[in-house]
């Protein structure tokens, strides 16, 4: 009544086109597998980044506390990576090397900071060096700074704007300026 199952399989195995198709499918599978493996390996490669330009040791040795001025420091080391926020008496030369593997958080491999401090006359007071081991981990506080004023709901904001627009743009009442506020 029907062809037995094993006879159908034997017929496919004896078909020369079946052999070519099977070989082609196997070839496509191996090529696509190789491409996928290469893409996965490339995605997991470590990405290393160097930021900042650290002065060389012989250049740092040319800076002498008590005699080198700010202008000389710029000529020897170049402009600093950062300057102190509250006064310009400390210059920072910063270099940092980080690496990231795939989608993980980046790791800091090396960090070097040279701090050049100046006195009131602009002469070098001290040259200090800090490394990665001198850094401290800080955790930001997750609070919000309150803003002055009153919190308005969406409906209060919508209704509050209804009376603030002039009905006639050409009226010369002189009571409000272009922003809707009285002129100052």
Residue 92: predicted pLDDT: 92
Look at residue 17 in the predicted model and tell me its pLDDT: 60
Contact present, 65 and 124 (Cβ < 8 Å) = yes
How far is CA 55 from its chain centroid? Answer: 24
Lowest mean pLDDT among 11-15, 66-70, 74-78: 11-15
Does the pTM of the predicted model rise above 0.95? no
Instruction: Quote helix, strand, coil % in the chain, to nearest 5.
Output: 35, 25, 40
Ranges of beta strands (E only) in 67-158 are 82-83, 90-101, 107-118, 124-131
Q: Is residue 107 within 8 Å of residue 100, measured between CB atoms? A: yes
Instruction: Give the list of residues 6+ apart from residue 35 with CB closer than 8 angstroms, or none.
Output: none
Q: Which two tokens stand for residue 126?
A: 């001290």
């Amino acid at each position: 009544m029907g062809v037995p199952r094993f006879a159908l399989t034997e017929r496919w195995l004896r078909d020369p086109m079946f052999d070519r198709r099977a070989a082609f499918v196997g070839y496509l599978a191996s090529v696509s597998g190789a491409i996928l493996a290469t893409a996965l390996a490339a995605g997991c490669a470590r990405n290393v980044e160097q930021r900042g330009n650290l002065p060389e040791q012989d250049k740092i040795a040319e800076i002498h506390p008590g005699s080198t001025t700010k202008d000389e420091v710029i000529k020897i080391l170049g402009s600093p990576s950062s300057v102190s926020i509250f006064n310009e008496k400390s210059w920072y030369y910063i270099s940092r090397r980080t690496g990231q593997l795939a989608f993980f958080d980046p790791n800091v491999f090396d960090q070097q900071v040279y701090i050049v401090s100046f006195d009131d006359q602009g002469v070098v007071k001290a040259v200090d060096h800090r490394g990665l081991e001198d850094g401290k981990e800080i955790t930001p506080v997750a609070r919000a700074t309150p803003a002055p004023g009153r919190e308005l709901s969406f409906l209060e904001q919508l209704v509050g704007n209804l009376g603030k627009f002039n009905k006639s743009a050409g009226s010369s009442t002189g009571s409000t300026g272009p922003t809707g506020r009285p002129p100052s």
